[in-house]
Amino acid sequence: NKSPQTVIRFSRQIARFLKGRHVKFLVVACNTASSWALGALRRGSDIPVLGVIEPGAHAAVEITRNGRIGVIGTEGTVASGAYPRAIRALRPGMRVFQKACPLFVPLVEEGRVSGPVTDRVADEYLRPLLRERIDTLVLGCTHYPLLKRVLQRRAGRGVRIIDSAEETARVLKWSLEQIGVLSGARGGERYYVSDLSGKFKEHAQRFLGRPIRSVTKVSIEGSSTSSR
């Protein structure tokens, strides 16, 4: 729900911090940030930058049979028009139908990934897309894969669901191989946040499906302040 200018500003600050950690590849793992800030992050970057829009769009174009693709996402992602542009750039003539789903994020963050309330909200959001006879549905927000079972059940077997995060991971692996920097070793992980809230670990563990050991709070300039 941030303005494009704010999303770009925050994204630049985050990218600057991560580059200070000497990363070899930057993934913009947020659909809204990919929609508004990807061009700004790529310009002048000395490392490759990958967003989630293009991989999701490519998979949708490959999978659709009738050329009618649905996209659900945040209000910012939908307003940007990034998915329709990316899809039609790959294959002109595709029909793309979008729906902003603002209630999905709080449902996921509260752990309400199933149940009558979630079913009802999903039905309300999917109804206009299903009326357009879509056969492919792109999950255009990082929260939505946790609702994949509900969405598949409410959409029906005739609709294929595209998880942009999975597609981005595949493209990332391929890209690392192409530039010769894919490590054969098992990687580690570090978590940095701009604010330590009591909910962060709970949310992160729900998304990852495993415990996380520690989280480091950093200032916007990238200096560590505390861990837990």
Kindly provide the b/e burial profile for residues 130-160, where b requires at least 16 CB atoms within 10 angstroms of the residue's own CB. beeebbbbbbbbbbbbbbeebbeebbeeebb
> Do residues 16 and 222 touch, judged by C-beta distance below 8 A?
yes
- Whether residue 162 contacts residue 175, with contact meaning beta carbons closer than 8 Å, is answered with no
Catalytic residue among 27, 49, 94, 141: 141
The reply to whether 101 belongs to the active site is no
CB-based contact 138:70 (threshold 8 Å): yes
Q: Could you say which of 8, 26, 30, 107 is catalytic?
A: 30
Beta strands 192-193 and 160-163 are unpaired
Angle at 171 between CA 166 and CA 176, to 5 degrees: 125
CA 128/CA 70 separation, integer angstroms: 10
Q: Which residue has the tokens 């309330």?
A: 117
Residues with active-site annotation: 30, 141
